[in-house]
């Protein structure tokens, strides 16, 4: 490992937690090469934009920011601009980069992130442009470094790719087929994180419920090896000393097993929150989305979850204005949201993704109708959220403290069991600790409270509240 500082890096991440975790790997690699992080791309020697192709907005923002970088790159011949992530797995994006952004130094994709140190050094030493994209995921590469955003909580990938081919989604084309990491590698990583002081891990996969299901060459298959499925993996991780909270995302409703529901009851470290993307409350829209469950099946699943874990917090993703969505079908979505009583939801306007089946659907919903429906849905979701948060007043929540607020250093912020943001006054030394907080005010988007007890070493069970609007969701 290099010990001298070679320069400064700046990484901007678009999209989901999988991308955030990839950026942590890139930060770890650059740290090993002797680079240190900086907070301003104008000052950086290396700028990496880690892209997302799931929604049109992220595409547009990427090209906007890339355009801004041009002047820095022209002023400094030693600067390296690299772009990676899901967008780079699409040929039309590569063609655009070559034609309009020829000054970009390094382009790589989701499947060859492990090659980054070598590619980067080649760019630096030979001052030549490199475009290296792999079509396929290949074997999982273990042992890559990572520089986590927090010392006390971390993302842990358990699988890569997706086999579901929802008709609106580009992920199976950009992230490849499902392949699972070996359970012993995951357990070892969690133990390593625990030894370094990490209290909370979030297990990541496009659909964690199908962990170990796929037979992918070089990947782990639970049936072939008679090893743990996703629920089994949770039981293994629940035993690790030092890990106090376990979260996961994302769960496809069609694959959610009774064993997983049972794990919520058995594993005291498993946070009682599940993100269960519904996407639509209409069976016909779900069929056109190729989601492979009906409205009734989803509601039945929610009812089983609530029966088994009465205080479970439920969050979701909903797409508004999918092609062909009628007013009645949209109202089915409003009705489902009211029935489930989501603690929060990530709502998205449908946007056409090049290369997906839904791109060819002729019956696109007009933009003004989409926006109008979107606003109505958000009103319903926020109304439910406000009521649920109000009901938290007076409760004592266990909060993993993330640190002082940017705007007021006397206010600490953290997350409770349900992943809800909780703000309270306290010394910054509480950062990284789990603290009992009495909730004094439940607002629509966060809870506010006061310290009710000393930092707790125990995993939390029994606190009830709604999860926060935060950076989560099936994709972004
Ligand atoms: S929406 Fe989720 S489950 Fe469906 S194809 Fe995309 S990543 Fe896979």
284 and 373 co-located in one domain = yes
Question: What is the pLDDT at residue 372?
Answer: 98
Q: What is the mean pLDDT of residues 410-426?
A: 96
Query: Are 355 and 414 in a shared domain?
Result: no
CA distance 388 to 260: 25
238 and 329 belong to one structural domain: yes
Nearest CA to ligand 1 atom 6: 169
Contact by Cβ (8 Å): 47, 82: yes
The Å distance, Cα 171 to ligand 1 centre, comes to: 6
What is the number of structural domains in the chain?
A: 3
- 386 and 457 within one domain: no
pLDDT of residue 454: 57
Domain's final residue, options 132, 163, 180: 132
Structure-token match 């403290």, residue found: 401
Q: Indicate the burial class of 207 (C-beta count within 10 angstroms; 0-12, 13-18, 19 or more).
A: buried
Residue scoring higher pLDDT (458 or 405): 405
Confidence check: pLDDT of 466 > 50? no
Q: How far is CA 436 from CA 200, 241, 404, 460, in A?
A: 16, 21, 16, 10
Tell me which of 330, 355, 390 is where a domain ends.
Answer: 390
Mean residue pLDDT across the chain: 92
Q: What is the pLDDT of residues 150-180, one digit of tens each?
A: 999 999 999 999 999 999 999 999 999 999 9
The arithmetic mean of pLDDT across residues 202-208, rounded, is 96
Distance separating alpha carbons of residues 203 and 220, to the nearest angstrom = 16
Q: Point out the least confidently predicted range of 11-25, 54-68, 106-120, 219-233.
A: 54-68
Give pLDDT tens digits for 30-55.
Answer: 999 999 999 999 999 999 999 998 88
Ligand 1 centroid from CA 162, angstroms = 6
Integer CA distances (angstroms), 312 to 288, 298, 316, 339, 463, in order = 30, 16, 13, 15, 10
Q: What is the pLDDT of residues 235-256, one digit of tens each?
A: 999 999 999 999 999 999 999 9
Predicted confidence at residue 6, as pLDDT, reads 85
405 and 382 both lie in a single domain: no
CB of 246 closer than 8 Å to CB of 417: no
252 close to ligand 1 (CB < 6 Angstrom): yes
Neighbouring CB atoms inside 10 A of 99's CB total 8
Same domain, residue pair 409 and 367: no
Residues 201 and 326 in one domain: yes
Q: Does 162 sit in the ligand 1 pocket, CB within 6 Å?
A: yes
Q: What is the predicted pLDDT for the residue at 230? A: 98
Whether residue 285 is found in the same domain as residue 411:
no
Q: Is residue 145 part of a domain?
A: no
Read off the pLDDT of each residue in 188-214 and give the average, rounded to a whole number. Answer: 97
Per-residue pLDDT, 214: 92
Predicted pLDDT at 321:
97
- Indicate the top mutation candidate among 53, 54, 159, 162 to test ligand 1's pocket, ranked by most ligand atoms within 8 A of CB: 162
Q: Are residues 355 and 453 in the same domain?
A: no
Residue 242 CB less than 6 A away from ligand 1: no
C-alpha to C-alpha distance for 297 and 198, rounded to whole angstroms: 37
- Are residues 473 and 383 part of one domain? no
Model confidence band, residue 453 (pLDDT cutoffs 50, 70, 90): low
Q: Each residue of 72-96: pLDDT tens digit?
A: 999 998 999 999 999 999 999 999 9
Query: Residue 179 corresponds to which tokens in the numbers above?
Result: 């392949």
What CATH number does the domain containing 466 carry?
A: 2.40.50.140
pLDDT mean over 118-131 = 95
**Is the CB of residue 59 less than 8 Å from the CB of residue 170?**
no
Domain contains 144? no
291 Cα to the center of ligand 1, angstroms: 9
Q: Is the CB of 172 under 6 A from ligand 1?
A: yes
403 shares its domain with 376: no
Q: Tell me: the pLDDT tens digits for 264-315?
A: 999 999 999 999 999 999 999 999 999 999 999 999 999 999 999 999 999 9
Residue 148 falls within a domain, yes or no?
Answer: no
**Does residue 469 have a pLDDT over 70?**
no
Nearest of 382, 451, 465 to residue 416 by alpha carbon: 465
Buried b (16+ CB within 10 A) or exposed e, 69-78: beeebeeeee
Residue 476, domain member (yes or no): yes
Q: Is 18 in the pocket of ligand 1 (CB under 6 A)?
A: no
E runs forming strands in 241-377: 245-249, 273-275, 313-320, 344-349
Backbone angles phi, psi at 241, to 5 degrees: -65, 135
Concatenated DSSP letters for 168-228? T--HHHHH-S-EE--HHHHHHHHHHHHHTT--EEEEE-TTGGGTTTS--TTS--HHHHT--
pLDDT for position 58 = 83
| The predicted structure's pLDDT at residue 463 | 39
Binding site membership of 178 for ligand 1 (Cβ less than 6 Å): no
Co-location of 276 and 299 in the same domain: yes
Q: Has residue 22 been placed in a domain?
A: yes
Mean pLDDT of 413-439: 96
What are the structure tokens assigned to 119, written together? Answer: 């590619």
CATH of the domain at 108: 3.40.50.12160
The answer to whether the CB of 324 is under 6 A from ligand 1 is no
Predicted confidence (pLDDT) per residue in 330-381, tens digit: 999 999 999 999 999 999 999 999 999 999 998 999 999 999 999 999 999 9
Instruction: State the pLDDT at residue 470.
Output: 36
* Residue 456 pLDDT exceeds 80: no
Residue 298 belongs to domain spanning: 153-390
């Amino acid at each position: 490992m290099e010990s001298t500082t070679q320069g400064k890096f700046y990484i901007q991440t678009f999209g989901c937690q999988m991308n955030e975790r990839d950026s942590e790997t890139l930060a770890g690699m650059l740290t090993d090469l002797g680079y240190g992080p900086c907070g301003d791309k104008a000052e950086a020697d290396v700028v990496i934009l880690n892209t997302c192709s799931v929604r049109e907005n992220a595409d547009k923002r990427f090209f906007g920011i890339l355009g801004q970088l041009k002047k820095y790159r022209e002023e400094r011949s030693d600067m390296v601009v690299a772009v990676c992530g899901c967008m780079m797995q699409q040929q039309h994006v590569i063609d655009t980069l070559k034609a309009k952004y020829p000054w970009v130094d390094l382009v790589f994709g989701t499947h060859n992130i492990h090659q980054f140190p070598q590619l980067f050094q080649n760019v630096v030493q030979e001052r030549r442009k490199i475009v290296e994209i792999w079509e396929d995921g290949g074997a999982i590469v273990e042992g890559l470094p990572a520089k986590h955003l927090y010392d006390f909580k971390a993302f842990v990938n358990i699988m890569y790719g997706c086999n579901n081919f929802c008709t609106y989604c580009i992920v199976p084309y950009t992230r490849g087929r499902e392949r699972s990491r070996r359970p012993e590698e995951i357990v070892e990583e969690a133990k390593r994180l625990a030894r370094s002081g990490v209290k909370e891990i979030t297990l990541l996969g496009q659909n964690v419920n199908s962990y170990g299901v796929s037979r992918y060459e070089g990947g782990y298959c639970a049936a072939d090896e008679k090893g743990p499925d996703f629920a089994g993996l949770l039981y293994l991780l629940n035993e690790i000393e030092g890990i106090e909270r376990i979260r996961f995302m994302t769960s496809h409703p069609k694959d959610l097993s009774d064993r997983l529901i049972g794990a919520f009851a058995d594993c005291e470290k498993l946070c009682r929150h599940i993100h269960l993307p519904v996407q639509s409350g209409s069976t016909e829209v779900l069929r056109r989305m190729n989601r492979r469950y009906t409205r009734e099946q989803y509601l039945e699943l929610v009812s089983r979850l609530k029966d088994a874990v009465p205080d479970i917090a439920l969050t979701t993703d909903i797409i508004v204005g999918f092609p062909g969505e009628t007013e009645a079908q949209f109202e089915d979505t409003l009705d489902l949201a009211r029935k489930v009583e989501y603690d929060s939801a990530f709502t998205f306007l449908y946007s056409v993704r090049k290369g997906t089946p839904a791109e060819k659907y002729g019956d696109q919903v007009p933009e003004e109708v989409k926006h109008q429906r979107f606003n109505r849905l958000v009103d319903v979701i926020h109304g439910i959220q406000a009521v649920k948060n109000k009901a938290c007043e007076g409760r004592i929540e266990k909060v993993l403290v993330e640190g002082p607020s940017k705007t007021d250093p006397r206010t600490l912020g953290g997350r409770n069991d349900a992943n809800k943001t909780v703000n309270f006054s306290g010394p910054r030394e509480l950062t990284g600790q789990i603290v009992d907080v009495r909730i004094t005010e439940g607002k629509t988007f966060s809870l506010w409270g006061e310290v009710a007890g000393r930092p707790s070493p125990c995993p939390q069970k029994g606190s009830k509240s709604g999860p926060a609007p935060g950076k989560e969701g099936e994709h972004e």
